[in-house]
Chains A and B, each alone.
Chain A
């Protein structure tokens, strides 16, 4: 497999000595060819690649990036990123990645388009529900639709998702019940759904903790002799956590069939990604022996291709893959956040031009696949989902039986807790109208 180390070193050289953009393009084309080669003959290619990487290291060992002059080129401006649909809606060629989505028909593209429209609608409706006091909190996913749909729709039912709390779009692809999805946000449960019903763990709130769970689950899949894959979703901020780094160590050492899917949405609440990573986040994985792909996270097709490559590697026993989906959190961290305090002017405008839905819309229009009728159907579907979700939300009873406090702490009886429970029941019963 092409190794990020190679790319990182090359990128380092380019940044440091100030090559012009055409050099970057050369580099990118070369990388795509490497990928193409890898897809065809992985074993042989890996052997070749080792030679290439060691040669590159040899060549540049005295000139590291840290020693080089400062550059004003922001990492996100580098072009070593997989993109199959440009922001203008033009399908661009990529020899390494095209084969992985060659089967995607226009009708299926419309489905992906509809999925993205639907989860944006879910997001909008949830924010409205929060503003109306029906939800206590919501973590908007606006802007990250392609990253979540492109990856989520690449998965099989028997794959298992370990996500963070902003991944409600992924939950949608798993077929989550809307009421279940909202329970946490309505404050009536610590987790909404049965993980085994949709093969998706309920979101981890502790940042990055779920990456280890995915790794352990993946290990279990290999022990069971199945080719299911575990995928963990996390953000750019999480990559600073020890758990995420430990997960990569474990996944690499045990060659666990796990995908590390990082949605780099540029922000960890108010902290910009450069505080977490001085270089591309995807540059980290090769240090752990994990190949990584940096993909345009607002390009649903590119995300799907990258995820399919990672899934295929994992299923064939190739071990973990790291995907950095470069995207942008267009909304606040949560409904309690005020991004005006930290977001630079112009960001929304710049990233709005790269919007995942409108770019796919333009592509479909150019192919005549998004007729008024289809657009209307998509919008009706989104509105229907929103209505269904709102009804499910309102139907969730906020009045809980206080004795539910004690439910599910242990699987087997715990004498200490049983005593507290019976004493509290007696206390409740002591009120007028209480039942003993």
Chain B
């Protein structure tokens, strides 16, 4: 049994985008490339995360209003960014799966789900730990907090939906549709602090303007954010590698079982 048959074949590989995408659909090629990329994501990711967190905890200045509680930001903000970025990755994989039938996109989407849910839970938990001393409440039904909670439920819904069918392909398809519908929540999360009068503060770092944050706090935050992003990517890549190998194992075991079953059925 060839490796390419271990994954459902592409049904619509035509078109320039489809051809380029399907160059990486071969499981053997994916395992080779991802195996080479994994150390380059994991090692710098761990180093940068450790550097950012230690810098933020021990050497960055305390805030004049929040005091040491501002140090929660070095965990909370990267996890919040990755909660949204992870969902965007999930939606892109879902699009690749639905439009181009990319066989590895299904697996990647399934593996992004739990990791994204974990980082969203981390964002909610650390936000709550910041809110209690600063706002005097663990939780408020603020637009930003509520939209991130909805994101967490979307992740959980995706995880549950892809596992709810006996036929995995139907589960992947239903999960992909849910992921694409749920992407409407991402701009709501981003602009919730602008559209509504929220307790959550507006963004301190934007792509268009200069950051409204002291540079001694900005650098550890950026280090932690880059580090967590690399760690997130490494975890998803490792899980996807494992899923590809598990699919091939199932294929090989089924191929072995089929002749045995045929022999047993013979009179």
Task: Judge: A and B partners, yes or no.
Answer: no
What residues make up the interface of A, taking CB atoms closer than 8 Å to B? none
Q: Which positions in B face A, CB cutoff 8 Å?
A: none
